[in-house]
Structure 1
Amino acid sequence: MLFFHNLQKDLKFLMHNMQHVLLFLKKKSTFGIIEIKKTYCISISSRYGTIDDIESSNCTNHVVTVYNNCRRSSVFSNDISISGICKSIDKSVVMSKYIDVDKYLIFPDINLLYKNNKTISTFFPKLFSLKEIKNLVNITDFYALNFDSKITSTEGSVFEYFVDLKILGNSCDWIGTKMSTRYYLSSCVVASSQGCMERDFSYTTARDFKDLDKPEQIGKSSAQKSIAKLNSKKIATQISPIIIKSDISYELFIDLKRAINGYAVYKKSTFLLNYMDKQIFPTWLNVFENPFLDKGLASNLFDNEGIATISRKIIDNGVLKTWLLDTYSANRLNMLTTGHSGGIYNWLISTKRKVIQSFNQILDLMHTGFLVTELFGDGVNIVTGDYSRGACGFWIDHGKIKYPVHGVTISGNLLNMWNNMITLANDINSNNSIQCASILIDKVQISGF
């Protein structure tokens, strides 16, 4: 049986250590935050019905952050023993004395700390036998390999299972705990035809094993995607409507996340610097952040500083409503932290339109244009908003897929691309912390031959 040790016992051990090291920290007459984390992981991969790799890991680490008279220093270590963490506290205190004073480096507001008044469901542990997991990856690989004669080889099917235990504490006697699970199943195969070879993959991930897509579905999907890319062509340079498939549409909102990050704002290195409470998306588009989504991949009750998370509107009817701030960036901007030390939570991209179209309907609506299924490179300039990324996908004619496309670049400016969004489909992808459907965008520069 593949299982982890007594998780409650481990949590009790971590809590015991946290209580002791916080007492040690308080004796130093300084403020500080301590994070102790333990992660279990099992990873198994299969190729051609044979298990070719099994990995099991048990990782521990802690981070000590000390605030000492407007100075801040941090020490990271894999030693989570009481003595090991106390050594890190001593090191951090000594290091802080050599750091220049910064009046904005102050301890988080204790009135904003999480008050243990909410719960979310992110912890769904499951016991597995090796036979069960072997069956799972072998079924995935079998359906991928036997989908079509064009599938000539497999790069394997992979199953991964993570359990995270995290305890965060500070010198104000505040302690928060989090236990979470995550499951992952993927398939990657190679298709060949007329001397052309292509590969693609499909995956599913969830907090609860029961919510994963079926292995048959993942295997077939990776085969279909690989075959569909065979014998791709280039297209002429033009301005055209595009559809960004739901598999990757969240990437447009990662660019938004980067542009409204507090550090970019106080450094004045974002093109959205003067756009607070201004329209940057069509009026029908909303982005809502929900940290309390049960089974959400980015659900959390508190951030890395212990600040309580709250639900909030990021974009309301196309209007930008907030920056993403931790304590330091908030101090620089003379604002309150938004509880975003460590990243964003579940972003739900939606439309206020009553009728939401299917993916096939937005293909018909576009009529002729480029369906983007993959994006490459890091060609987004957050200072200017300029956008340029490699892409591949399919050319659409009269609402139908005509042929696969490769070797093109889509470019423009993010503000123009966001404002030129025409509609969302209803094919929401929940495999990411940003849940978004396929997006139809008008008038995008496509550079081909």
Structure 2
Amino acid sequence: MNKSVSSSNSQGDAKAESGFSYSRAFFKDLVEQALSHAKKLGATDAGADASEGSGLSVSVRKGELETVERNRDKSLGVTVYLGKRRGNASTSDFSAEAVQRTVQAAYDIARFTAEDPIAGLPDAADIVPAAEHRELELFHPWAIDSEAAAQLALQCEAAAFATDKRITNSEGAGVSAQQSHFYSAHTNGFAGGYASSRHSLSVAPIAGKGADMQRDAWYSSMRRASDLADPAVVGRYAAERALSRLGARKIPTTECPVLFDAPLAAGLVGSLVQAISGGALYRRSSFLLHSLGKKVFPKHIQLVEDPFIIGGKGSAPYDDEGVRVAKRSVIEDGKVAGYFLSTYSARKLSMRTTGNAGGAHNLHFYSTKTRPSDDLNAMLQKLGTGLFVIELMGQGVNPVTGDYSRGASGFWVENGQIAFPVEEITIAGNLKDMFKGIEAVGADAYNAGSKTLGSILINRMKVAGS
């Protein structure tokens, strides 16, 4: 669950209850019932988490309403420890009888599970006290009905069609409004909960006809609906992207510099995060084993994690275990300064948790060489002659070896200017070499979920074409 907003004061708690079927107080009572019954059964330790989510999703296509979906889900999860044995169970039934049955199920699973010497709740010293739970202002419910949502989606798609008569079709446009809240506690001193929201607008137009047809898409995603991009802007930009790809062709197989568009560059950072996360490290399924303190990027590359950005998509006052989080350097002057560890993975590695149970928080990847003027045009100038990639296909990344091979499309660039669109090519390399070969990071910053970064220029990759 994306636990992204603190509600440590009464105002936050009232907001957390807005638009939900269950109150924070109800969840608190539910969790306490579960923990009490676990102790009654003889559990050494226990934890419980009650949550609820609700939302509306509307899609349109070619000026007509296609789907209206409303979702509402709820869950109570229980974890029981019997010494070093651990059991989990969950239910969507919040009756007292169901709570007891769920705790009993978790208890029975723990009884027959093999001992794990690493199993256990976080150390009390790592738990963030309730007084330090921050209000991060990430819950902004959107009181929109299906008719209004459909109108926004229709405006977005209409703007795409109006951009150029060569926009001939559409895969549709959509609007989504989602919100959730939770309360969790465990017997090692943690209790807390908060609410979060995430809203989005998207469209996928198709340009051209016959043998020369191209699609592209664009979206806007924010916690606050008023921060979403204008539907007409999203529609026009998506259309322009699709139009720019008309007349795409293959290129001969070559080796050249490659510039990754900012939204795609976030995927490279995602591969880094996976490689230095505890699960991959203790399972020895990472190409960056034993990389702490070692140089894996050029000296100008930095990566900072900051959980406390107000309104940030990856913000949180604590991690999924109630462990303290902090702003920190992950990559410093090209060297790995820290891993992403939960309590369990930290213990497996004989280290201390970094507060990353549930994943990384807001990440800012940047270069100390980047200037404010290094927009996309400037990055194309830095690329010179090579490949500018705007779409990747397939899952050709080996997390163990770092081997990288993805289908791609984009533009061939000559002397810093886009020459023509290209498609049906494959780019290949190894992430170790790609990381070390980063020559520049653009000032064209883009926020992709919890990651913020600009376009990334890599000095050389293999490009397989015709």
Same fold (TM over 0.5): yes
SS of equivalent to 2:206: strand
Distance between the aligned counterparts of 1:107 and 1:232, measured in 2?
55
- Taking a change above 3 Å as real, the CA distance of residues 268 and 162 of structure 1, as seen in their structure-2 partners, is same
Which residue of structure 1 lines up, in the alignment, with residue 5 of structure 2? Answer: none
Which residue of structure 1 lines up, in the alignment, with residue 205 of structure 2? Answer: 189
Whether the aligned pair in 2 keeps the contact of 1:21 and 1:82 (CA below 8 Å) is no
Structure 1 position 129, deviation (Å): 4.1
Pairs within 5 Å for 1:26-45: 26-30=39-43, 31-45=45-59
Unaligned runs of 5+ in 1: none
Distance between the aligned counterparts of 1:274 and 1:418, measured in 2?
16
Which residue of structure 2 lines up, in the alignment, with residue 382 of structure 1? Answer: 399
Structure 1 position 274, deviation (Å): 2.5
Which residue of structure 2 lines up, in the alignment, with residue 259 of structure 1? Answer: 275
Pairs within 5 Å for 1:98-113: 98-113=112-127
Distance between the aligned counterparts of 2:200 and 2:365, measured in 1?
23
Q: Which moved more, 1:280-289 or 1:15-24?
A: 15-24
Q: Does 1:301 align with 2:323?
A: no
Could you tell me which amino acid in structure 2 is paired with residue 54 of structure 1?
A: V
SS of equivalent to 1:363: helix
Residue 210 of structure 1, aligned match among 217, 226, 245: 226
SS of equivalent to 1:23: helix
Which residue of structure 2 lines up, in the alignment, with residue 394 of structure 1? Answer: 411
Q: Does 1:163 align with 2:182?
A: no
Structure 1 position 184, deviation (Å): 0.5
TM-score (norm: length of structure 2)? 0.92
Residue 47 of structure 1, aligned match among 56, 61, 81: 61
Which residue of structure 1 lines up, in the alignment, with residue 464 of structure 2? Answer: 447
SS of equivalent to 1:248: helix
Distance between the aligned counterparts of 2:425 and 2:370, measured in 1?
35
SS of equivalent to 2:129: coil
Cα-to-partner distance string for 1:154-192 (whole Å, 9 max, x where unaligned): 221100001111111112453110201111100011112
Structure 1 position 11, deviation (Å): 2.5
Which residue of structure 2 lines up, in the alignment, with residue 425 of structure 1? Answer: 442
Q: Does 1:57 align with 2:74?
A: no
Whether the aligned pair in 1 keeps the contact of 2:411 and 2:420 (CA below 8 Å) is yes
SS of equivalent to 1:247: helix
Residue 275 of structure 1, aligned match among 278, 281, 291: 291
Whether the aligned pair in 1 keeps the contact of 2:122 and 2:188 (CA below 8 Å) is no
Distance between the aligned counterparts of 1:55 and 1:48, measured in 2?
19
SS of equivalent to 2:104: helix
What percentage of residue pairs aligned between the two structures are identical?
29
- Taking a change above 3 Å as real, the CA distance of residues 270 and 130 of structure 1, as seen in their structure-2 partners, is closer
Pairs within 5 Å for 1:66-105: 66-105=80-119
Cα-to-partner distance string for 1:385-431 (whole Å, 9 max, x where unaligned): 11111111111112121111111111111111011111111111113
Structure 1 position 375, deviation (Å): 1.2
Whether the aligned pair in 1 keeps the contact of 2:201 and 2:219 (CA below 8 Å) is yes
Count of matched residue positions in the alignment of Structure 1 and Structure 2 = 446
Unaligned runs of 5+ in 2: 1-16
Distance between the aligned counterparts of 2:88 and 2:207, measured in 1?
49
Residue 19 of structure 1, aligned match among 28, 32, 39: 32
TM-score (norm: length of structure 1)? 0.95
Pairs within 5 Å for 1:221-240: 221-240=237-256
Distance between the aligned counterparts of 1:82 and 1:250, measured in 2?
45
Which residue of structure 1 lines up, in the alignment, with residue 265 of structure 2? Answer: 249
